[in-house]
Chains A and B, each alone.
Chain A
Amino acid sequence: MFTKKWRWISIGVGFLFLVTAPLFLTGYWIRFLTNVFMFGVMAEGFNILAGFCGIPSFGNVVFFGLGAYTTCIFMVQLHQPFIAGVVAGAILSTLFAILLGFPILRLKGHYFAIGTLGLSEATKELVTNLEKITKGSEGISLPVIAGNVNVIYAVFYFTMFGIMISIILFTYWMSKTRLGYAFQAIRSDEEAALVTGINTAWYKTIAWSVCAFFTGLVGGVYAYWTTFINPEGVFSVGITVKMLIMTILGGSGTILGPIIGAFIFEFLSELAWSSFMNVHAAFLGLLFILIVIFMPNGFMQLITQRFSLSSLIAQIKENRI
């Protein structure tokens, strides 16, 4: 449906719109988009791991929570600047991924999913119980920045936007290099990848660490942005589920899919909130079921492939019925 030229033009227009948005959108929509960028980064991180490397993690939120808490503790308890906290959060998340990667990445398929879910829940409990440092389940407040609210919103908007652009560029670069080929080989057949000379344990750890780095980074920014975090909030399984849905919705294993998925998901859930207040979860659930049935390869498919009714029917027949 889209030729290459049109694809680049739409990316350009989208980019320009997002760069200039704070000039004409209200605070509400700026916060909304900041949130979309944040989830875009997390979905893309999930995509690098699950979409490219084929490792279905159900505990990615652990990196978000660790990033958020590290930033918080650096700022509140250690009186360090925000930047130091965010960097420390991203580094700690990455180290956590590397250390736990070697044992946990040996698990396969469902077992890995369950293991990672357990890991994130266990970390949540740990953070909740380290009351002296984390103030436990009560949560911690961060210092509020003084100044013009709109300027502050814009700062967070561009920070999240910048991180999102970085992870998109990283994914694009990766998909063209040795790293991306190793990931995709592991995704389609780990045994074949192994005998082809790919050190799968090593590459899986890289995928997990990259994902942890970016997720930890946005976790830290999120903490300062909302100025209050608690374990239930930043270690919520719901956040992992969102990453997963966004990735599938947009198209897993594609470069822009998860970002588009994040936009669609957030717009739809906004719509569901405003129009079907009481049954919004049911509405949203139904919508996602329909999308997965009719577009199992995600929205990117509409853009990258010629789209017609007959191809849609063929798709449904092939995948679901």
Chain B
Amino acid sequence: MTEILLQGEKVSKYFGGLAALSDLTFQIKKGEIVGLIGPNGAGKTTLVNVITGLLSASTGKIRFKEEDITHAKPYHIGRIGIARTFQIVKCFSRMTVEENVLIGALFGKSGIGRTKKEALIKVGEVLEFVGLVRKKDVLVEKTTIPDRKRMEVALALAMEPELLFLDEVMAGLTPKEMEEMMALFKKLNRNGMTILLIEHVMKAIMGISHRVITLHEGRLIAEGNPEEISKNDKVIEAYLGSRYAKRMDGGHA
């Protein structure tokens, strides 16, 4: 049996009376690429924020390997092996691409025991992997959006995570750039990285995910392989609205 890396049990998050997440139970196994989809406002980013500790779960339990991380601090979660990117790219301003990635290498999993020199070696490897070596001395403000997204992935990788959350990394990319990104993620996964890919564009996720989890209004409405999900009535309804889904049904019949 493959090892379960991350496990959520009946996780809920309330903002006042609003349930942003309700009773979510999920698992991510080692070596998987899991897609997390759902229409706008489904709770995808909230879930990632709760797992990474930026928000605290109202009820429920989250485990990473053997450790209960439900109420752990974000920096602790970062150090034990979960790294993430942000929907709206966050990078450290007034620094070069290399310095940004260096921060990941200095504070991530093996960061604290590392000298700056050792960290820079790691940075070199990661930049090589994502294809940014030539731009390492460019100030982050002067990079293009696709490069910045790659850099954010590089920063997360420099932390040497076991589980990587990618929050809408495809948004704003051209189809060609999207393909390059997907190729990068496949390569990462082949090297053993477990990935949770959060997208609201279904197309981007279907090609590379082994399994897809669908959220709608904070609830888990479907889970399965991409093909099952794309045919699932509840998913189609959530994305297109019930009336349109019925019409599509009628058309096919």
Contacts and interface: CB of A to CB of B under 8 A. Distances in A.
Interface of A: 176-178, 181-182, 184-185, 188-189, 191-200, 253
A189 B108 contact: no
B92 A198 contact: no
B93 interface: yes
A195 B52 contact: yes
A184 B54 contact: no
B75 A198 contact: yes
6 contacts: A177-B116, A188-B94, A191-B54, A194-B78, A197-B79, A197-B104
A182 B54 CA distance: 18
Contact of B77 (A176, A178, A195, A253): A195
Contacts of A185: 92, 103, 107
B87 to A, nearest CB: 12
B222 to A, nearest CB: 28
A253 B92 CA distance: 14
B111 interface: yes
A188 B99 CA distance: 13
A192 B75 contact: no
Interface in B44-72: 52-54
B84 interface: yes
Closest 4 CB pairs of A and B: A197-B78, A197-B107, A194-B74, A192-B90
B159 interface: yes
A194 B92 CA distance: 12
Contact of A196 (B94, B107, B116): B107
A191 B52 CA distance: 11
A189 B75 contact: no
Contacts of A198: 75, 78, 103, 107
Contacts of B86: 191-192
A195 B104 CA distance: 10
Given A181-B103, A182-B107, A196 B93 contact: no
Contacts, number: 78
Interface string B171-182: 000000000000
B37 interface: no
A52 B113 CA distance: 24
Interface string B94-119: 11000100111011110100001000
B92 A189 contact: yes
B208 interface: no
Contacts of A193: 92, 103
B229 interface: no
Most chain A beta-carbon neighbours within 10 Å: one of B74, B77, B104 = B74
Contacts of B103: 181-182, 185, 193, 196, 198
A196 B99 CA distance: 13
B106 A178 contact: yes
Interface string B139-180: 000000000000000010001000000000000000000000
Contact of A181 (B52, B106, B159): B106
A199 B108 contact: no
Contacts of B159: 196-197
A63 B11 CA distance: 46
Nearest to A194: B74
A180 B197 CA distance: 32
B79 A191 contact: no
Given A181-B102, A191-B54, A197 B90 contact: no
Given A181-B99, A200-B75, A195 B84 contact: yes
Contact of B94 (A176, A184, A192, A194): A184
Contacts of B78: 194-198
Interface string B109-133: 1010000100000000000000000
B91 interface: yes
B83 interface: yes
B54 A178 contact: no
Contacts of B54: 191, 194-195
Interface in B202-237: none
B198 to A, nearest CB: 14
